[in-house]
Amino acid sequence: MFTGIIEATGRIKAIQRQSTGARIEIDTQSLDMSDVQLGDSIATNGICLTVVSFTNASFVADVSIETLERTGFGNYQTGQRVNLEKAMLATSRFGGHIVSGHVDGIATITAITERGNAWEYWLQVDDSLKGYIAEKGSVTIDGISLTVNSVDDDKFRLTIVPHTRAETIIETYTLGQEVNLEVDVVARYVERLLQCQKQGTTDSGVSESLLRKSGFIKA
């Protein structure tokens, strides 16, 4: 599990594409690798990757066909910068929100505006994902835990403060760029519970009326 608080940015050192997926090597740059072991998880642009080999300055991971099809990895190139976060420890400070490293799909940047000391980014998602985006809720963009400040149908707005922009790859974003999106994991499970309840396969006690009464669903 991750928190969405980026520890460092790295660069893609090599990509070996195969019919069964790909193998990727990441130059970790300032990421502390002293406690990394084989089999550890490192979120790379929000994608949970398993370390299959490493040095004090890089790691190698395998990327499945599912990941290549579901995320931006299918279009990544050697030299490209990526956000990095090691899996959190039970003793770690929980600074962001619950991030699984399982990307749900792609969001496209449609507008970038400087406002005061911050930047506002509007992003668009497929209709299949827009129901998971809630005002003042959390999303993960390329591994970064961010707050949704407003929603307009299939578009949503993020406000990026200078520190976040400087410490991540957000400063490189351009109009039309596609980024990895992970929705709040709680929304996934609530939806599944409601689906099963409607189908009569479970009785979780969770209902639309309960969620509405508790303020999780707006009238």
pLDDT digits (tens, 9 = 90+) for 144-180: 999 999 999 999 999 999 999 999 999 999 999 999 9
Report the range of poorest mean pLDDT among 40-49, 79-88, 94-103, 163-172: 94-103
Asked if the structure places residue 98 within a domain, the reply is no
Q: What is the mean pLDDT of the chain?
A: 90
Q: Are 22 and 52 in contact (CB under 8 A)?
A: no
Higher pLDDT, 42 or 193: 42
Residue 93: inside a domain, yes or no? Answer: no
Which CATH number do you get for residue 158? 2.40.30.20
Per-residue pLDDT for 13 more than 90? yes
Give the structural domain span for 71: 8-86
- Based on the fold, state whether residues 74 and 30 are members of the same structural domain: yes
CA distances from 100 to 3, 170, 184, 214 (A): 8, 20, 9, 25
DSSP 88: P
Residue 202 has a pLDDT of 59
Last residue of a domain, one of 86, 114, 130: 86
Check whether residue 80 and residue 21 sit in a common domain: yes
Structural domain count, the chain:
3
Residue 200 confidence (pLDDT): 66
Q: Would residue 122 count as lying in a domain?
A: yes
Which whole-number Å values give the CA distances from 59 to 75, 81, 193, 210, in the listed order? 20, 15, 38, 46
- State whether 30 and 70 are in the same domain: yes
- pLDDT single digits (tens) 101-117: 999 999 999 999 999 99
pLDDT of 135: 93
More confidently predicted of 88 and 56: 56
Domain presence at residue 96: no
**Same domain, residue pair 149 and 190:** no
pLDDT band at 217 (very low <50, low <70, confident <90, very high): low
pLDDT score recorded for residue 176: 97
Q: Identify which of 38, 33, 35, 15 has the alpha carbon closest to the alpha carbon of residue 25.
A: 15
For the entire predicted model, the pTM comes to: 0.86
What pLDDT shows up at residue 212? 67
Same domain? 195 vs 176: no
Place 98 in a pLDDT band, splitting at 50, 70 and 90: confident
**Above 80 in pLDDT, residue 74?**
yes
Q: Does 66 fall in a domain?
A: yes
Distance of CA 177 to the CA centre of its chain: 15
Query: Would you say 58 and 25 are in contact if contact means Cβ atoms under 8 Å apart?
Result: yes
For residue 121, what are its two tokens?
Answer: 């980014």
Q: 198 in a domain, yes or no? A: yes
The pLDDT-based confidence of 97 (bands split at 50, 70, 90) is confident
> Residue 88 is which amino acid?
M
